[in-house]
Amino acid sequence: MEGLRKYFPLRGPLGNVNAHVQAVDGVSFHVAKGETLGIVGESGCGKSTTARLLMRLIDPDAGNMVLDGDPIGHGGLTLRELRRTMQMVFQDSYASLNPRHTATEEITFGLRVHGIGRSEAREQARSALRLVGLEPDMFADRYPHEMSGGQRQRVNIARGIALNPRVLILDESVSALDKSVQAQVLNLLIDLKERLNLTYLFISHDLNVVHHVSDRVLVMYLGKVVEVGPVERIYQAAAHPYTRALFASRLSMDPRQRVDAVPLVGDPPNPVRPPSGCRFRTRCEMAEAVCAAVEPILSEQGALHEAACHAVTPNSGHSRAGGLAHAA
């Protein structure tokens, strides 16, 4: 079921010509049809930029993308077709709804863009609202300010699925919601995925939520993929030191297991001038000379599991390379 594949080496300079913020630098990954790929990382590591690049809301400087065997652009899928196949749900449920549009107007907008007639679009909007658990008679004519955060986010999801996409990008879609509402929306998303045969790209900084919904997890650091693998592998036997630090920083439900030592100190380096070699080396306890000299590439760590770290890459020159020095 490797029908859906994306390859994405790209370089995203934001800003003016003499300073390039390397927001997303050479990120490649693939998503299988019907799976949920969780993308995690600190603030500013390029998660959302990746999402925007995928939707072509910003133009990538390099890289290409293959969707279901069709390349995007270059005689393949047009941008318009891409945007019908792929939809996105944003973090801020209020800002992502037009304050002057009712729920129906908001959902029908996209449908009308794709040439669906007015009454037909209204019908589809109603069924999309029903799908996300909002009674159309109650909510169809409501403005954003007349709804709660959870309801607004449901409208956002309805807008996304109304176009009948195959891929839904969820960019921190539940992060702004209360815990209880968050759980409801997450369950809704899981339910919708099965019913509508969707593929999810689930971007979040909330590791517990990602654990709950994802099949595979991709960890980003400073615009690079540092590790990717099946969710249980990443959560239990992460290979990259950054991933391990990230997971150690998660608060445990069990107070006895809480760690006192701060696993990760300092802020990420400036993405305008990232460190040479491995970008994580400035904060890595295992950093050695080779880490500054050579940039690590993703190397196999087991079935479907890859990490970009010299310490776990055989023959990299790192003193721990090949050895299983890290404690699981």
Partner 1 sequence: MSAAAEAAPAARPAANAPGRRRRTGGFWQRVGRQVLRDKVALVCAVVLALIALSAIFAPWIAPADPYKTSMLRRLLPPLSPNFILGTDELGRDMLTRLLYGGRVSLSMGIAPVLFATILGGALGITAGYFGKAVNMAIMRVVDVFYAFPSVLLAVAMAGVLGAGIFNSLISLTLVFIPPITRVAESVTTQVRNQDYVEAARATGASSVRIILQHVLANVTGPILTYASSLVSIAIIISSGLSFLGLGAAPPIADWGLMLNTLRQAIYVAPINAVLPGVMIFAASVSFNLLSDSLRTAMDVRA
Instruction: Say whether residue 146 binds partner 1 (CB under 8 A).
Output: yes
Dihedral sign for Cα 204, 210, 214, 220, please.
positive
> Is the distance from CB of 186 to CB of 179 less than 8 angstroms?
no
Instruction: Say whether residue 90 binds partner 1 (CB under 8 A).
Output: yes
Question: Which of 142, 193, 211, 212 contacts partner 1 by CB under 8 A?
Answer: 142
Binding map of partner 1 across residues 91-120, x = CB under 8 A, - = no contact? xx--xxxxxxx----x--xx--xx------
Instruction: Say whether residue 79 binds partner 1 (CB under 8 A).
Output: yes
Instruction: Say whether residue 295 binds partner 1 (CB under 8 A).
Output: no
Q: How far is the CB of 187 from partner 1 (least distance, A)?
A: 23
Instruction: Say whether residue 199 binds partner 1 (CB under 8 A).
Output: no
What the block records as the tokens of 197 is 């045969």
**Which region among 140-148, 173-181, 200-208, 225-233 touches partner 1 (by CB under 8 A)?**
140-148
Give 250: exposed, middle or buried? Use CB within 10 Å, 0-12, 13-18, 19+. middle
Residue 167 CB contacts under 8 Å (≥ 6 apart), including other chains: 4, 31, 67, 85, 86, 87, 198, 199, 200, 201
**Which region among 75-83, 186-194, 204-212, 229-237 touches partner 1 (by CB under 8 A)?**
75-83
| Residue among 132, 89, 129 nearest 105 (CA) | 129
Instruction: Report how far residue 236's alpha carbon sits from residue 118's, in angstroms, rounded to the nearest whole number.
Output: 51
Instruction: Report how far residue 110's alpha carbon sits from residue 95's, in angstroms, rounded to the nearest whole number.
Output: 17
Instruction: Say whether residue 84 binds partner 1 (CB under 8 A).
Output: yes
Instruction: Say whether residue 300 binds partner 1 (CB under 8 A).
Output: no
Q: Which is nearer to partner 1, 36 or 108 (CB)?
A: 108
Positions touching partner 1 (CB under 8 A) are 52, 55, 57, 79-80, 82-84, 87-88, 90-92, 95-101, 106, 109-110, 113-114, 137-138, 141-142, 145-146, 156, 159, 163
